[in-house]
Homo-oligomer: A and B are copies of this chain.
Amino acid sequence: MLLLIISVVLVVAFLAYMLVWHAKSKIKSDEIRELSKRIRGGARTFLFQEYKVIFIFIILITGVIFFANRLMALAFFLGSLASIIVGFVSMTIATATNGKTVEKLKSLDNAFKFAFYSGTAASLFSILIALLGVALLSFFIADKNVLLGFAFGASFIALFMRVGGGIFTKAADVSADLVGKVEKGIAEDSPENPAVIADQVGDNVGDVAGMGADLFESFVESIVAAIIIAATASVALDTFLPLRLATVAILSAFLTLAFVRKGKPRALLSKYLAASFIFALVLFIMITREFFVSVAAGLLAGLIIGLSTNYYTDPHKKPVKAIASAATKGASIDVLAGLTNGMISAVVPVFMVCLATYIAYTFSPHGLFGIALSAIGMLSMLGIVLAADYYGPIVDNAAGISEFCGMTKERAKADTLDEIGNTTAAIGKGFAIGSAALTALALLATYATIAGIKIANLLDIKAVIAMLIGAIMPFWFSGLAIGAVDKTAEHIIPEIRKQLKSKKEPDYNKVIAITTRYSLKQLVMPALIAVIMPFAVGFLLGKNALAAFIAASIVTAFVLAVFMANAGASMDNAKKYIETGKLGGKGSEAHKASVVGDTVGDPLKDTAGPSLNILIKIMAMASLLFATLINLV
């Protein structure tokens, strides 16, 4: 309780501090201000269009749940609302920061701190809302299962933001490039291209709204899973421990920013991560002895997954250099090297999650509770990791704005800032996937508890069938998600062509509106199979088979997600490596080949891969709803 109050006070104080800093940083250049406003406007267009559809669904789902359990309906409504608020505030902060960052670029250090601290503000706000939401509900409501409603709300919004957003960002990107760069020979980020703002908005949609909602969901669900396991356990367990441990995500970030202040941007970022890890560890041991090993195992596994992700995707490391050198042999060899690298890169994360799960289970007084807590442990660096994630699109947009305004010197500096963020972004993605897997496993344990399953025999014929179906889900879902990018782009491209032909002022917002509309439309199929299949399996094959279904889909999706994310990121960075002048540099045959690889990898890493985080969590959540439902009947 005390820790929670401290967290609230600290976050509010920090937000106030950042508000003042922002207020003092007025944009002087009219052009930058105008452009920044456009991006913010575009982001709002996207959000409000999504909200319209979302709200209809929220009303519907809340209504349905209302008949089963009124409190849970309320919790669902609040969970959705909380995630929406978090998304809106984060997007506002990010789009309010990009233009100001450009003007601060005279000093790289200053610009870095401004962008990163703004990201931290958004990050801490997100975490605080998650914490407060769960805390308030669990203080006032005795039946802890009600918390599932809140988690399902978070899950539901994440589906729209992460999957819909993933389709949006790639469709905008692909269309802008295809018509602008390829057909018309317009430079990237040039104001002539009517899709340029959509592209900039897309960066925010993917990495701020999408990633934010994803990690918000993981955070909420890992806490909720732990609380429910504690509440339903046959032995006495502290149901407030998960909340206390979760405050570490805020506190460790604070301690980090308070104590680590000096260094060049790149070094500073690594120091932040290291400090955040150490502070989390220290705080954990202050909060719990009994479950320290469990949370520490999760935390350490998260760090190693992050580092391993970095190893396989960093342009300065062997794997990416190997892909770049494969590019000299042609586009297909580049793609194959990227795919292979992605496959191999999944080995370490899988073994890390295995190890964390095993240790968390074995070395704690209550095994399942230990696993749930290890998921919270993994997320305790979230304050810094999410901040670094939000930082990405801010400086990426800053680079775009400088280009748009023809500020070449600033552009170069912004690119440096952007590159600094890439490593951390890779680590962040590793975290997102690892924590999704661990959270989903915790949810599986929760499902078993609620459905009253002690033994789910995988040799049962129904379980085997359910596992087969569970394994196809991630592939099916990914196929639909990648296909959606192409189908959405088909509607954007004619609009861009038409606008370019008309010679009028480009109507940026129209492109954004079209992109949002069709990405929403393309979201329908994947969303449907994600929500319906668990119920179908549950009703047709029974609750034990449903556990097998969830388990198989978690393990397959986890591996597939790491594969796609790292394959995409490593091909992207192989291209960037060549662009630094290596192996022939820009314009060489190797560069052209690496561009093909990058374009193949883009929807893998930005659309399909991250979508799988959502898939496994939402399927696990749907099965929990199923369990609650059959308990009622």
Binding site for B on A (CB under 8 A): 178, 182, 326, 329-333, 335-337, 339-344, 346-347, 350-351, 353-354, 357-358, 361-362, 367, 371, 441, 444-445, 448, 453-459, 461-465, 467-472, 475-476, 478-480, 482-483, 486, 547-548, 551-552, 555-556, 558-560, 563, 595-600, 603
Provide the bound-state CA to CA distance between A469 and B354, in Å: 8
Q: Is the CB of B547 within 8 A of A472?
A: no
Provide the bound-state CA to CA distance between A375 and B7, in Å: 60
Q: Is the CB of A336 within 8 A of B600?
A: yes
In the complex formed, the residue of B with least CB distance to A344 is: B479
Provide the bound-state CA to CA distance between A165 and B623, in Å: 44
Option from B342, B445, B595 in Cβ contact (under 8 Å) with A459? B445
Provide the bound-state CA to CA distance between A351 and B556, in Å: 17
Q: Is the CB of B482 within 8 A of A339?
A: yes
Instruction: List 12 A–B pairs whose Cβ atoms lie within 8 Å, in order of A's numbering.
Output: A330-B599, A331-B596, A335-B596, A335-B600, A337-B486, A347-B472, A350-B468, A350-B472, A371-B461, A448-B459, A470-B555, A475-B560
Most chain B beta-carbon contacts within 10 A, residue among A336, A337, A342, A458? A458
Give the Cβ gap from A601 to chain B, nearest Cβ, in Å.
Answer: 9
Query: Known: A354-B465, A457-B455, A459-B455. Is A346-B551 also a contact (CB below 8 A)?
Result: no
Provide the bound-state CA to CA distance between A552 and B441, in Å: 15
- Inter-chain contacts of A454 with B (CB < 8 A): 457, 459
Most chain B beta-carbon contacts within 10 A, residue among A330, A340, A344, A453? A340
Give the Cβ gap from A238 to chain B, nearest Cβ, in Å.
Answer: 22
In the complex formed, the residue of B with least CB distance to A595 is: B332
Q: Is the CB of B475 within 8 A of A558?
A: no
Query: Known: A453-B459, A475-B563. Is A551-B467 also a contact (CB below 8 A)?
Result: yes
Option from B331, B444, B459 in Cβ contact (under 8 Å) with A547? B459
Provide the bound-state CA to CA distance between A34 and B182, in Å: 51
Option from B467, B480, B482 in Cβ contact (under 8 Å) with A552? B467
- Inter-chain contacts of A475 with B (CB < 8 A): 343, 346-347, 559-560, 563
Most chain B beta-carbon contacts within 10 A, residue among A344, A354, A361? A354
In the complex formed, the residue of B with least CB distance to A455 is: B457
In the complex formed, the residue of B with least CB distance to A445 is: B459
- Inter-chain contacts of A347 with B (CB < 8 A): 472, 475-476
Besides A335-B335, A358-B462, A556-B556, 12 other CB < 8 A contacts?
A331-B331, A331-B332, A331-B596, A336-B486, A342-B479, A343-B478, A343-B482, A344-B476, A354-B469, A362-B461, A444-B459, A445-B459
The 6 closest A-B pairs by CB, nearest first: A343-B479, A332-B599, A471-B555, A350-B472, A344-B479, A458-B458
Q: Is the CB of B600 within 8 A of A332?
A: yes
Give the Cβ gap from A68 to chain B, nearest Cβ, in Å.
Answer: 25
